[in-house]
Amino acid sequence: MWESDPQARWISPEEAGLTEREQEILRLVAQGLANKEIAYRLGISQNTVKVHLRNIFSKTNLQSRTEAAMYAVRFGLADIRPSLPEAVEAPASAFPEALSSGEAVAGPEEPTTLPEPIPAEPAGSAFAVFPLWKAAVLMAGMIMGILWALTPISARTEAPAVSFTGDQPGQGVERAGTLPRWKLVSQMPAPRARFALVRWGEELIAIAGEAPEGITDRVERFDLRQEVWRRGAPKPHPVAAVAAGVIGGRVYVPGGVNPQGQPIDRLEIYDPVSDRWSEGPALPSPLAAYALAVAEDRLYLFGGWDGRRLRGEVWMLDPARGLWQPRAPMPTPRAFAAAAALGDAIYVVGGYDGQRELAVCERYRVEADRWEPCPPLNVGRGGLALAASDGYLFALGGGWRIPLAFNERYQPGETGWVPLETPIVGTWRNLAAVAADGAIWILGGWSGELRAGLWRFTPFPFRLFLPATQR
């Protein structure tokens, strides 16, 4: 039974009599640090950390680390409240609000008639100093998102028509101070959002998306060893709201939105060895803003937007046969979700429906072709990135209407997602992430402006390597 209002039983730090050390540990828990990392940071033993946590939980009526993180935010103990720039209304995009990050995008001379955008909040009101009452609103939003995600929804393949008029501009800022597990490694030659990112060998390849010049055909390749960028052959058809997957050494890029604001059905395939593009079997129908994952050398597309409606279909491409095949539809039609394969399943997390960010998590069993629920995110996230590494899922970024203060981590079998620290607080959406060499690489996105930064996040910096011994 999910508790509707866990905050009702919480006891404030003052009433609970939390010590400075206990408050310090709560701050680190809110940053997503494990007991071992907290012990290392504070110069104490793990057992001492556990004793402090037991005392904290007993004093405050907390029941989980997730609640501890929410508690730290609610009572202003976590250092996640920098002053953010005022929200400003961005120029209109070249395509409907669902496919506008808020940044200016070059459009055709006679743009398609679009719905009227919702005005930005008055200056100084949307992202001001973020006082405690706004933290309380954030917590309420988390709980509402979780309850909404747990509401049963019958399986269907399409939703009522939506115009996505709710994509307001957002602002995000980099956190002051250092985060030991995060490093800003490089800057992409051109900032971008809503682009595709894959790992190919010892390279990261960024494809298409929204750039300062508008919807672009850019292909940029980053060498993970030498940490340098170089240009690849441009994509034949520029698109945004797109993703990609690698199968057999080639990069598959389906659909997306063209510069006229219309989803397309093209599948274009990039060969990084020859630096050439070819065309594959077209999608069954135009599609953009889908979630994508690769499993067992097959490409899976989940949901998305067809230019008018949210979709719930799941399409599988077997490159050997060259055919798109329908699979069991998602229980929740949505766009701007993220997907990642882990074990024998693909997890589809978050999303946006034009009105709100979604916290929903659904797990697709590949062999059985069936869906089952998984624990929802702590807060709704749209335009997020999802990466799998070392048996964990990492939900990174997002945020349309609710400014975000943390990322999240989940291990299958656990009861919920655990908050993680983030280098960018507020809005950081339409970014991309891939796992490589024990790290997660996060690139680009939108947080009041297009971003070009390439971050390396090392989830488990305390690895134990045992030397091999001869028998």
Return the pLDDT at 140: 47
What is the Cα–Cα distance from 197 to 254, expressed in whole angstroms? 13
Show the CA angle centred on residue 304, arms to residues 381 and 222, nearest 5°: 70
Reference 304, options 319, 322, 321, 284; nearest CA is 284
Reference 331, options 373, 288, 386; nearest CA is 373
Question: Per residue of the chain (471 residues), what is the pLDDT tens digit?
Answer: 444 456 778 899 998 899 989 998 998 888 878 888 788 788 888 888 888 998 899 889 898 888 888 888 888 887 544 333 333 333 333 334 445 444 433 333 322 222 222 233 333 333 333 444 444 444 544 444 444 333 333 333 444 454 443 344 567 788 756 789 999 999 999 999 999 999 999 999 999 999 999 999 999 999 999 999 999 999 999 999 999 999 999 999 999 999 999 999 999 999 999 999 999 999 999 999 999 999 999 999 999 999 999 999 999 999 999 999 999 999 999 999 999 999 999 999 999 887 889 999 999 999 999 999 999 999 999 999 999 999 999 999 997 777 888 999 999 999 999 999 999 988 999 999 999 988 999 999 999 899 999 999 999 876 544 454 444
What is the Cα–Cα distance from 107 to 51, expressed in whole angstroms? 59
Return the pLDDT at 183: 94
262: which 2 tokens? 């219309």
What is the DSSP secondary structure assignment for residue 386, as one 8-state letter?
E
For the chain, where do the domains classified as CATH 1.10.10.10 start and end? 6-74
Q: Are 407 and 32 in contact (CB under 8 A)?
A: yes
> Which backbone phi and psi does 314 adopt, to 5 degrees?
-120, 125
Q: Does domain 148-457 have CATH number 3.40.50.300?
A: no
Return the pLDDT at 43: 80
Return the pLDDT at 406: 92
Task: Give the DSSP per-residue string, 237-304.
Answer: S--BS---EEETTEEEEE--B-TTS-B---EEEEETTTTEEEE-PPPSS--BS-EEEEETTEEEEEEE
Amino acid at the residue 232: G
Q: Does domain 6-74 have CATH number 1.10.10.10?
A: yes
Return the pLDDT at 118: 28
Rounded to 10 degrees, the C-alpha dihedral 55/59/60/66 comes to 10
Return the pLDDT at 223: 97
Show the CA angle centred on residue 99, arms to residues 96 and 100, nearest 5°: 85
For the chain, where do the domains classified as CATH 2.120.10.80 start and end? 148-457
Return the pLDDT at 45: 84
Could you tell me where the beta strands, DSSP code E, fall in 140-249? 158-161, 172-174, 182-187, 196-200, 203-207, 210-211, 214-215, 219-223, 228-231, 245-247
